[in-house]
Chain A
Amino acid sequence: MTLLATLARVEAAAAGRARPLSQVLHRRLAGQPLVIIPLTLAGDPATPVAAMTGTSRTDQQLLVVSQPRNRDLRLRFLTSLASTVLGYIAARQHAAEIIPATRTHEERRRYADAPQILVPNRAARDYLGLLGRATRFQRADGPYPVDPSVPTLGKWLTFFADRADQPGSALLADLTSILAEHWATGQSPLEDASLAAQLAWIDPPPGMTGLQAALATEDPLRCPPAGPATDPGFDQAILEPLIRNYDRAAKAGSQAGTDRVAAEITTALRGQLEPTWETIWHAIALLRALPETAGAGRRWAADRDSFTSFSSYLGDGGLPQPRRDHAATAAARLDRLERAHAAYDAERALEDPFILAELRTTGEAFAGEVVSALPSRTTTTPAGRTILRPRFTVHTDDPVRIEPGRVLICPTRPSQRVQIADLPRAGTDAEVVLEVIQGMGTPARPRPGAVPAPGELVSYTLDPGYWAPRDFPPVDQTPWTHGGPPVRRAEQTEEPQS
């Protein structure tokens, strides 16, 4: 957390109400997201009990497993979930656009829309990934066949869970994480993991402080947990006795009996899920009130690319993703994520005054007044050519911590690039001497307005273009530590492109 967010948290605690952080959306919120609230059986891995799904507050579907330890019932649940999720995905695979070829990319097709799955919290997000791991290797043939939609669901859930690690990706996101980007509550991050408590600080009911409202959500009878684990008290008092009744009815061979108990189980689980359902749509409504940045559209386009390419991977009979990444794949993925993260921060700083201010507290950006300028300064290249290299000096009291030489950009002058030439300090203040290296024109024809005039207030941050993707060596030049030669791999499993 930056000091700005920390201060906001402290202020929220004192005020009894959340404080705003970033007030613009850096990722797309789809008009019709697929909300999924999964509930799981305590103790068992990936053994669903129920899921509430739907694409609007009023369109709500409840899937229930009356006896979660019964494989047939579980498969019936997974088949229904697959039908919901795959149907939602298929509806986004109709319209496509053609992206013309560029210098680096061939012409390609891209779906005009993409799916967006929203879950209440980080644990639910991880749970969908786990469900994907549990189902993607299941087989529609062989001794215990499952419906072919189940492994397909598994591959999609795995794709969503992997893609969710990409900064700014909107294909799968959890609401507590999104809310935390936009509001600081007056409680700890550990308590923020409860969506209801977090939202209570942000938008408490009339007549209550955020703290009072948040404390009220801690009573599991009034506010059942958002899952995926159910409330142990609910398990003990309600769910377990009902499931035992179900077993008894099933053993007695009474269809009417199992139907009746199944209906009771459904009602009980609906009671556990509905408060969270309302909370989620409340959170979505708050987020929809925030304006979206241009970057959100760009990131959504990248999501659509990723969605399109995974769709065609599956269309070509794509194998399930490996249990563990191959070492070279993992290294490339890690590198990609690190770069994406740095780029995400830098891009957001250009579009979001809050992020820019955050970077100013950490010294990765600065702002101040131009105190002097040499707009027609020139220098000579080693080849003897005279080039325009204007300089200007910015006075700032920000704690600038940028190494000289890094390329910087000003949010209001997107085509200009500057470098720090000198950074003398006087006490806590600094005089940053900047040299314009791009967007200033030539000595004969300087671009007007490229150099800010004395008295002007400017801000500079790292150029997001600084992070170019890194090339990894081809397999035959990959060191053996990362799966390259000399060991000849007998079976080369195909890995999906994401």
Chain B
Amino acid sequence: MKFAVLQFPGSNCDQDCLRAINTIEGASAEYVWHKENSLTGFDVVVVPGGFSYGDYLRCGAIARFSPIMRSVGSFAAGGGLVIGICNGFQILCEAGLLPGALVRNRGLHFICEHVHARVEQHNSPFTNAAWTGAVLRLPIAHGEGCYFADDAVLHQLQLEGRVLLRYCDERGRTTETANPNGSRDSIAGICNDERNVFGLMPHPERACDPLLGSIDGRLIFQSLLEWPASPLRKAA
């Protein structure tokens, strides 16, 4: 399975993503510069974390107009799998590929720590190697990770099973204190209605090596590899 890892000026998790993906059997990753306009030959697009365009104006606001984002739009419309991590999630929201927006953390501080996130739905290309209710330990590193959407959108996300990850404590309970940034409904990751575009604030690519304290992030990449043969896919 071929992964494209996009690079914008200011991306800084692109190398982590490439390395994490290339250690997984059956996966290979290549960089794609933001000025390119083709994604031909790729199965998955990764929009990595960082501070694209210095986070000027709003996080992801300028990156969404990069030439490659037009291709990401048609890639997604054609059913291609897209995963946006941290700044990548912000870019996908700005581009309108995912609903809502990421705003300043409730406590104003940049937060860099390991958190717990509960898999809310394993019925997706991004979570099928886990199980609903699984608690993952993943790092976050963001100043603008507070997920915001209006009540109607939140209701729809919940109804359609599109919230894939929620912040929780180590026992899987979603509490106020386990919500690090004030995200509405403790949302850490959502997908689009076609379930082929996923955005999340935690960094799975930084949790793929025992040396880094957790390998739970591998489940996300492993899910992508297992999706083509997954019985869940056939059921969908």
Q: Do A and B come from one complex?
A: no
Chain B positions near chain A (C-beta within 8 angstroms) = none
Chain A positions near chain B (C-beta within 8 angstroms) = none
